[in-house]
């Protein structure tokens, strides 16, 4: 399944502007951003954003290897992205790979395939670098109404990155919990049983216990959530009939409404989730786990801030994430 905008023809670029291409290959999806960056004004303008659910991390948590069919889906998508980059005249390309390829024994097959498809070597980045790129992408567009320090959470398929900082990350940690990993490990029934939910929550809470030893979540003034699970939960909380990037980006939703939307998505069957107009088909089977992880993170940040004498009332959702951070890193 592909979500794509038709690629416009490349216009002549103004002096000081560079056209770059950022590719983020995660456990569940692969995404492309072609953008024009004005290096003098510090402005990034989207030219094209595309996303495909390829489920590269299929079975990695169990086998430790990338499945041949998952690798084939991912490399097919990479070849299509290569064509888009050529057609749009991207001058620089950076391909970043995250949790699934970090964990796989046969990741060299993935690296060789990407080089053959697009001509650049994928960077299998650490969880800490992934967190830093996400922080740069998310905080670069936050308005003055959202005060620092920021807690930025990038909830992926295989891992969840947690960062706290002001203009740059002060502390970051990558947790091995994500929507695909938690689905395969725990939430195997449709809908998940109470016992499966309890086991998944225990897993996430244990990961958060470790994370807070490195990342001082209680210092945060603003919580920002990124990536598909978070944006899908936000669409549900907003009552959207279809996915609307413009309404989701920058949306401010109360903690209570966020937790309620998470709980509702977790309890639904896959058929009931499919009926939601904003739901991407490739996310139907894993959004329950994504909602569970997000609910645990939101509750933990709320509690850590309260223990520090503050109050977290709202959650901010950003459509600007690691892709934007990768693009900025190219200039």
Q: Which fold has domain 143-322?
A: Nucleotidyltransferase; domain 5 (3.30.420)
pLDDT tens for 33-83 read: 999 998 887 788 999 999 998 988 888 778 888 899 999 999 999 999 999
**For residue 151, what is the enclosing H or E element?**
strand 150-155
User: Is the separation of the CB atoms in 153 and 225 below 8 Å?
Assistant: yes
DSSP state letters, 206-243: HHHHHHTTTS-GGG-SEEEEESHHHHHHHHHHTT-SS-
Scan for tokens 């979500």, then name that residue: 3
Q: Which residues of 177-193 are buried (b: 16+ CB within 10 A; e: fewer)?
A: bbbbbbbbbbbeeebbe
With a cut of 70, list the residues of the chain below it in pLDDT. 1-11, 99-100
Largest CA distance in the chain: 60
- Establish whether the linkage from the previous residue to 191 is cis, with ω within 30° of 0: yes
CATH number of 2-124: 3.30.420.40
User: Is the separation of the CB atoms in 117 and 75 below 8 Å?
Assistant: yes
Angle between helices 287-307 and 228-237 (to 10 degrees): 80
User: Is the separation of the CB atoms in 101 and 145 below 8 Å?
Assistant: no
Position 11 scores a pLDDT of 59
Angstrom distance (rounded) from CA 22 to CA 294: 26
Residue 146 DSSP class: S
In sequence order, which residues have a C-beta less than 8 Å from that of residue 304 and are 6 or more positions away? 212, 216, 217, 218, 220
Taking the alpha carbons of 37, 41, 43, 48 in that order, is the dihedral positive or negative?
negative
Position 99 scores a pLDDT of 63
* Domain locations in the chain as residue ranges: 2-124, 143-322
């Amino acid at each position: 399944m592909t979500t794509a905008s038709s690629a416009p023809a490349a216009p002549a670029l103004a002096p000081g502007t560079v056209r770059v291409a950022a590719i983020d290959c995660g456990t569940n999806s692969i995404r492309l951003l072609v953008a024009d960056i004005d290096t003098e004004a510090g402005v990034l303008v989207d030219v094209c954003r595309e996303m495909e659910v390829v489920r590269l991390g299929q079975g990695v948590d169990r086998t430790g290897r990338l499945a041949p069919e998952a690798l084939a889906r991912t490399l097919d998508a990479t070849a299509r992205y290569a064509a888009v980059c050529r057609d749009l005249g991207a001058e620089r390309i950076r391909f970043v790979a995250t949790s699934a390829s970090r964990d796989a024994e046969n990741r060299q097959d993935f690296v060789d395939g990407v080089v053959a498809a697009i001509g650049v070597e994928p960077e299998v980045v650490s969880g800490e670098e992934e967190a830093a790129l996400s922080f740069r992408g998310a905080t670069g567009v936050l308005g003055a109404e959202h005060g620092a320090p920021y807690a930025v959470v990038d909830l992926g398929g295989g891992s969840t990155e947690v960062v706290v900082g002001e203009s740059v990350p002060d502390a970051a940690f990558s947790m091995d919990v994500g929507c695909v990993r938690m689905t395969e490990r725990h939430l195997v029934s449709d809908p998940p049983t109470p016992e499966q939910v309890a086991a998944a929550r225990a897993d996430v809470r244990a990961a958060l216990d470790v994370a807070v030893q490195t990342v001082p979540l209680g210092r945060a003034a603003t919580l920002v959530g990124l990536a598909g699970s978070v944006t899908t939960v936000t669409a549900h909380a907003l009552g959207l009939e279809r996915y609307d990037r413009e309404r989701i980006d920058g949306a401010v939703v109360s903690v209570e409404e966020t937790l309620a939307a998470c709980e509702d998505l977790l309890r639904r069957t896959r058929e009931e989730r499919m009926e939601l107009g904003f739901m991407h088909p490739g996310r139907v089977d894993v959004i329950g786990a994504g909602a569970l992880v997000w609910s645990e993170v939101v509750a933990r940040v709320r509690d850590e801030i309260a223990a520090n004498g503050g109050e977290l009332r709202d959650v901010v959702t950003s459509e600007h994430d690691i892709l934007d951070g990768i693009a900025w890193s190219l200039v």
